[in-house]
């Protein structure tokens, strides 16, 4: 194939009939030299023409599918920098508590769900926020409503658990149950040392397995199908899976087996022509006691088997801390409500050991960074990795929640990659209220997620929903961009509150770039996807309206007509 391009003329491929010719559209290419076009032509799995309608006519033959867009918008397929779609569906099962604003609300929702589902042997749910309760959640709270069935309720970040006594009994949670990292990964206890039913930062996962709640083959397969279908409907064509979200994340050997099952599942779908998303998986490092050499060995073994433009092991994800919401991240300055600086499970030294070993093996590293001290230490490690010669590594800071302004400047200067979730910088999920309570007004309004400062400074960012920490129904790029542009909760139009300052709001152009080229770059796919250019894979999304003609508060309501990956439809709306 010979491609020819010109900045001043339509991009033309050798004249032959193509599979699809899309004409009369508002084609926003994400190509800075040619941002707008009327037509896109697809042959096999590639884009072969981007230009005007007249030039596209040469590609129409008897078997060509000619699509008259009638002014509809065409964008590159969305590419998320951070989701957990393969196996995380189990975390969203059960009663949805996100609408609650107090412990009483949560208990009311639980009772309604339990009464409506008397045949469920195990009850689970998601969505509570400890900062809205007034006092800590306990097993006794749940026992009063559901005493005879195990109850596992995940908080809205999915890191913390609220269990009843039956769940603790079946899960083997006792006074002798260890705290993996006291103050970070631990059980809340009474004055006698007995667990109270509130578990922090994934300490609960072994209990979940012991109680018989984890059914891996069924849950992974169901999660993958449901969430990939939803993502395709939302216009996604690729993403980085930042750690396989199973209850085995603290055990390298068991987690490795989960990886083998999950990767075979999606590889089989790919071979059958049924895989709907390019999947770039990072192997998770969560337990500080796990040997780094074994982590790298497992990641390299998996990469050697899965290293294509469709399925690839792309690196390591280090998860050293939790969240400011639960005081399990590490700050430079104390929490406003406790006077303490928090903590982290994986030390800065061990995290840097992983960075160096992974980069040496040709693996990129992402680090979950919430607290300002963890952010600073991680920047230091990335800089030292460059100084050690790993200049080609695309190491990324995930979340970048509470950076000190000095470190925001350093990220820009050092060209360190960032991923952010825009909906978290809105009142959604009680996040704004929680941040003000634990961080105080200054850090909430001046430090938190400085997304516009990063973009204006030239930082390479991607955006994501981080499902399941965000409800899967809100994962869509259009929802995330509405949040980024308005700083309001897109899921609740009645809530007019704005997370200040508005100076951190993105423009539509900036958000769409982060949602396409931003993610593609972090996956090392920027020369193959992320923009509509000749020679790139035919990954695109068609929208009912031109987003530039839509009010910012209505972006999330724009209908997605179709999604295409590799020149094949992965989603088409009903006529």
Q: In terms of domains, do 141 and 45 share one?
A: no
**Distance between first and last Cα of the chain:** 36
Judged on CB neighbours under 10 Å (0-12, 13-18, 19+), 70 is exposed
Say whether pLDDT at 49 is over 90.
Answer: yes
Q: Which of 204, 10, 23 is nearest to 124 (CA)?
A: 204
What integer best gives the mean pLDDT of the chain? 94
pLDDT score, position 134: 84
Does residue 361 belong to any structural domain of this protein? no
Do 199 and 97 fall into the same domain? yes
Domain that holds residue 53: 3-71+533-572
Which one has a higher pLDDT value, 559 or 1?
A: 559
User: Are the C-beta atoms of 222 and 180 separated by less than 8 Å?
Assistant: no
* Domain match, 104 and 198 both: yes
Q: What is the dihedral of CA 43, 46, 48, 54, to 10 degrees?
A: 60
Q: Bridge partners of 46?
A: 43, 537
pLDDT given for residue 522 in this prediction: 98
pLDDT at 50: 98
Tokens of 527: 């020369």
CB-CB neighbours of 526 under 10 Å: 18
In a shared domain, residues 35 and 127? no
Domain match, 36 and 111 both? no
pLDDT in tens, 169-208: 999 999 999 998 888 889 999 999 999 999 998 899 999 9
303 Cβ neighbours under 8 A, 6+ residues apart:
312, 313, 314, 363
Q: Tens digit of pLDDT for each residue in 276-335?
A: 999 999 999 999 999 999 999 999 999 999 999 999 999 999 999 989 988 999 999 999
Cis status, amide bond into 113, omega within 30 of 0 = no
The domain that contains 126 carries what CATH number?
Answer: 3.10.310.70
**What are the phi and psi torsion angles at 477 (to 5°)?**
-55, -35
Does residue 366 contact residue 242 with C-beta atoms inside 8 Å? yes
Is 157 found in the same domain as 102?
yes
**Residues 101 and 183 grouped into a single domain:** yes
d(CA 10, CA 21): 14
In the chain, how many domains are there? 2
DSSP assignment of 47-62, as one string?
EEEEE-HHHHGGG--T
Which class for 389: exposed (0-12), middle (13-18), buried (19 or more C-beta within 10 A)?
exposed
Rounded to 5 degrees, φ, ψ at 56 are -75, -20
Percent of the chain whose predicted confidence (pLDDT) is above 70: 97
In which band, very low, low, confident or very high, does the pLDDT at 6 lie, cut at 50, 70 and 90? very low
Confidence band for 12, pLDDT divided at 50, 70 and 90 = very low
Does 102 share its domain with 179? yes
Q: Is the pLDDT of residue 362 over 70?
A: yes
Last residue of a domain, one of 159, 188, 210: 210
Section 463-479 average pLDDT:
95
For range 434-451, the mean pLDDT: 95
SS3 34: coil
One domain for residues 93 and 201:
yes
**How many Cα atoms are found within 13 Å in the side-chain-facing hemisphere of 129?**
21
Query: Mean pLDDT over residues 240-269, rounded?
Result: 96
Q: Within a domain: residue 105?
A: yes
Quote the tokens at residue 542: 């068609």
In a domain, 528, yes or no: no
Q: Has residue 522 been placed in a domain?
A: no
231 part of a folded domain: no
- Out of 149, 183, 210, a domain closes at 210
Residues 38 and 122 in one domain: no
CATH of the domain at 537: 2.30.40.10
Rounded mean pLDDT, 498-514: 98
Residue 273 belongs to a domain: no
**Quick one: angle between helices 348-360 and 292-305, nearest 10?**
30
For residue 21, tell me if it sits in a domain.
yes
Across 537-566, b (16+ Cβ under 10 Å) vs e yields bbbbbbbebebeebebeebbebebbbbbbb
Long-range pairs for 212-216: beta carbons < 8 A, 24 or more residues apart:
212/122, 212/170, 213/122, 213/124, 213/150, 213/152, 214/90, 214/246, 214/247, 216/246, 216/258, 216/261
**Three-state DSSP class for residue 267:** helix
Q: Can you state the percent helix, strand and coil of the chain, rounding each to 5?
A: 35, 20, 40
pLDDT greater than 80 at residue 235: yes
Chain length of the chain: 575
205 and 134 fall within a common domain: yes
**Stretch among 19-28, 96-105, 221-230, 274-283 having the lowest mean pLDDT:** 96-105
Site of tokens 């030390």:
347
Whether the bond into 468 is cis, omega within 30 of 0 = yes
Looking at 210, 245, 263, which one is the last position of a domain? Answer: 210
What is the DSSP code string of 358-412? HHHTT-EEEEEE-SHHHHHHHHHHHHHHHHTT-TT---EEEE--S--HHHHHHHH
Residues 123, 41 share a domain: no
* pLDDT, tens digit (0-9, with 9 covering 90-100), for 134-178: 899 999 999 999 999 999 999 988 889 999 999 999 999 999 999
The answer to whether position 236 is within a domain reads no
């Amino acid at each position: 194939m010979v491609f020819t391009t010109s900045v001043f003329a339509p991009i033309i491929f050798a004249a032959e009939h193509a599979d699809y010719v899309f004409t009369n559209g508002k084609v926003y290419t994400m190509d800075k030299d040619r941002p707008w076009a009327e037509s896109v032509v697809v042959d096999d799995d590639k884009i072969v023409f981007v230009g005007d309608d007249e030039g596209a006519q040469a590609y129409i033959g008897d078997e060509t599918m000619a699509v008259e867009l009638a002014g509809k918008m065409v964008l590159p397929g969305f590419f998320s920098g951070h989701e957990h779609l393969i196996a995380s569906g189990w975390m969203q099962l059960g009663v949805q508590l996100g609408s609650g604003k107090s412990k009483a609300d949560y208990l009311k929702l639980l009772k309604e769900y339990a009464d409506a589902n008397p045949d469920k042997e195990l009850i689970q749910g998601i969505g509570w926020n400890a900062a809205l309760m007034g006092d800590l959640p306990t097993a006794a709270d749940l026992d009063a409503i559901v005493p005879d069935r195990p109850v596992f309720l995940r908080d809205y970040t999915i890191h913390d658990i609220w269990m009843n006594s039956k769940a603790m009994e079946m899960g083997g949670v006792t006074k002798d149950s260890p705290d993996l990292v006291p103050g970070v990964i631990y059980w809340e206890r009474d004055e006698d040392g007995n667990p109270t039913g509130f578990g922090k930062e994934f300490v609960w996962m072994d209990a979940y397995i012991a109680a018989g709640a984890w059914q891996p083959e069924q849950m992974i397969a169901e999660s993958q199908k449901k969430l990939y279908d939803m993502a395709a409907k939302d216009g996604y064509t690729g993403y980085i899976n930042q750690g396989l979200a199973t209850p085995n994340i603290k055990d390298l050997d068991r987690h490795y087996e989960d990886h083998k099952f999950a990767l075979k599942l999606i590889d089989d779908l790919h071979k059958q022509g049924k895989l709907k998303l390019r999947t770039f998986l990072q192997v998770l490092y969560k337990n500080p006691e796990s040997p780094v050499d074994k982590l790298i060995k497992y990641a390299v073994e998996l990469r050697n088997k899965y290293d294509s433009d469709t399925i690839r092991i792309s690196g390591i994800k280090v998860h050293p801390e939790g969240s400011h919401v639960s005081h399990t991240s590490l700050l430079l300055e104390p929490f406003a409500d406790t006077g303490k600086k928090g903590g982290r499970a994986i030390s800065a030294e061990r995290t840097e050991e992983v960075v160096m070993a992974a980069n040496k093996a040709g693996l990129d590293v992402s680090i979950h960074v919430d607290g300002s001290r963890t952010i600073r230490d991680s920047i230091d490690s990335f800089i030292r990795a460059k100084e050690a010669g790993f200049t080609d590594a695309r190491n990324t800071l995930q979340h970048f929640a509470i950076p000190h302004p000095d470190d925001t400047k350093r990220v820009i200067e050092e060209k360190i990659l960032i991923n952010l979730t825009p909906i978290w910088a809105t009142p959604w999920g009680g996040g704004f209220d929680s941040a003000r309570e634990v961080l105080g007004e200054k850090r909430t309004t001046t430090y938190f997620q400085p997304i516009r400062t990063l973009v204006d400074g030239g930082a390479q960012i991607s955006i994501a929903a981080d499902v399941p920490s965000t409800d899967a129904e809100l994962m869509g790029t259009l929802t995330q961009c509405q949040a980024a542009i308005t700083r309001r909760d897109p899921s609740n139009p009645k809530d007019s509150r704005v997370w200040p300052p508005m100076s951190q709001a993105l423009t539509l152009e900036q958000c769409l770039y982060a949602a396409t080229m931003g993610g593609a770059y972090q996956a090392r796919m920027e020369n193959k996807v992320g923009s509509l250019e000749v020679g790139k894979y035919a990954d695109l999304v068609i929208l009912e309206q031109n987003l530039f003609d839509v009010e910012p508060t209505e972006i999330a309501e724009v209908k997605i007509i179709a999604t295409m990956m590799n020149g094949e439809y992965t989603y088409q709306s009903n006529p």
